[in-house]
């Protein structure tokens, strides 16, 4: 891999694509060129970029994303949807670039690593031109669970998610704002991005329903966690809920271990771990909250306590900005592993 790679940002005008641009700057990624790509309707648009590596701050012109767009590209950061990723995979690989894909298109393919740098960085070594970025809710959970699993093997996880509107994209965030305005004005609310209005509501279904009564989002958390943590026997039960937060996903976890683990050991493990921040003083109303953590990088942990319903158990609460660490930041971290 070139030590000063050419980076293509695919889907550069979307919410995650824009976050890619911010993260490249924030990490001062050593790019020699940043090439923003998007659909034909966005081609020619100028977008601001704060600079990174050899690329100065200024405006970059969006180019139409076609198979020819990847000539000379070393790393292609994709956030353009599964269909687009599938259509362009071969073009990226044929150009000699590495696709880091944010969609679910390739996550469970046997020949595609599914990587969270704090958990399984070694898996980037066996890529064949494509590396998958996991589901945001999965990333949040495994970043918090890996330091604990290093102390005592995990037997079972029960997780409930509280997922923000931004998980469905920028238009869904705007719809939540409009629904909130309409509700407070006594007007009817329209729902286009979810089956029901999200404002002042919770929707206990994310993605399509599966035959066993779970949703695809819940299945992702189970299957992806097992793959990332190299533990096909881990028992996981997930319930995924959309809530009227604008940005940042919350998760409630009950984790059962195969050996004793104390709250104090968990605190020490998290405080030593990268991208985990303990925010836990509930007596003084201090705990992670989605409304105040937008734009932050770590997985925030709070409400930590013993789960007395099992022999060796802990319960805790997580909040993470899923557009940052759950998407763009994780992908750029993978790119840094490659470089």
Q: Which residues carry out catalysis?
A: 136, 249
Q: d(Cα 139, Cα 137) in Å, to the nearest integer?
A: 5
Pairing label, strands 33-38, 63-64: parallel
Secondary structure string (H, E, C) spanning 48-110: EECCECCECCEEEECEECCHHHHCCCCEEEECCCHHHHHHHHHHHHHCCCEEEECCCCCCCCC
Find where tokens 């965030």 sit: 173
Q: Rounded to 10 degrees, what is the CA torsion of 133, 138, 139, 145?
A: -140
The DSSP bridge partners found for residue 276 are 299
Residues in the chain: 339
Q: d(Cα 322, Cα 106) in Å, to the nearest integer?
A: 20
Name the 3-class secondary structure at 165.
Answer: helix
Sign of CA dihedral 295, 297, 302, 305: positive
Is 237 exposed, middle or buried (CB count within 10 Å of its CB: 0-12, 13-18, 19+)? middle
């Amino acid at each position: 891999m070139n030590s000063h790679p050419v980076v293509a940002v695919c889907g550069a005008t979307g919410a995650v694509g824009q976050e890619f641009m911010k993260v490249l700057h924030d990490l001062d990624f050593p790019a020699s060129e940043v090439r923003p790509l998007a659909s034909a309707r966005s081609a020619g648009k100028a977008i601001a970029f704060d600079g990174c590596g050899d690329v100065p701050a200024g405006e970059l012109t969006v180019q139409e994303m076609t198979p020819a767009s990847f000539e000379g590209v070393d790393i292609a950061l994709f956030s353009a949807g599964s269909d687009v990723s599938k259509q362009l995979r071969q073009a990226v690989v044929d150009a000699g670039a590495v696709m880091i894909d944010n969609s679910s298109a390739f996550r469970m393919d046997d020949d595609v690593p599914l990587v969270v740098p704090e958990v399984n960085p070694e898996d980037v070594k066996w890529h064949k031109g494509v590396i998958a970025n996991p589901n945001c809710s999965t990333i949040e959970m495994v970043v918090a669970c890996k330091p604990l699993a290093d102390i005592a093997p995990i037997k079972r996880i029960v997780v409930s998610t509280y997922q923000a509107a931004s998980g469905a994209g920028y238009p869904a965030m705007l719809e939540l704002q409009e629904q909130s305005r309409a509700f407070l004005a006594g007007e009817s609310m329209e729902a286009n991005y979810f089956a029901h209005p999200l404002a002042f509501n919770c929707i206990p279904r994310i993605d399509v329903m599966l035959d066993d009564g779970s949703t695809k989002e819940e299945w992702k958390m189970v299957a992806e966690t097992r793959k990332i943590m190299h533990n096909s026997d881990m028992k996981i039960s997930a319930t995924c809920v959309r809530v009227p937060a604008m940005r940042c996903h919350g998760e409630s976890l009950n984790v059962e271990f195969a050996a004793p683990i104390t709250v104090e050991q968990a605190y020490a493990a998290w405080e030593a771990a990268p991208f985990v921040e303990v925010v836990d003083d509930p007596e003084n109303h201090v705990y992670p909250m989605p409304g105040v953590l937008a734009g932050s990088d770590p997985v925030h942990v709070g409400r930590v306590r013993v789960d007395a319903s099992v022999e060796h158990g802990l319960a805790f609460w997580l909040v993470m900005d899923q557009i940052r660490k759950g998407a763009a930041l994780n992908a750029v971290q993978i790119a840094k592993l490659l470089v």
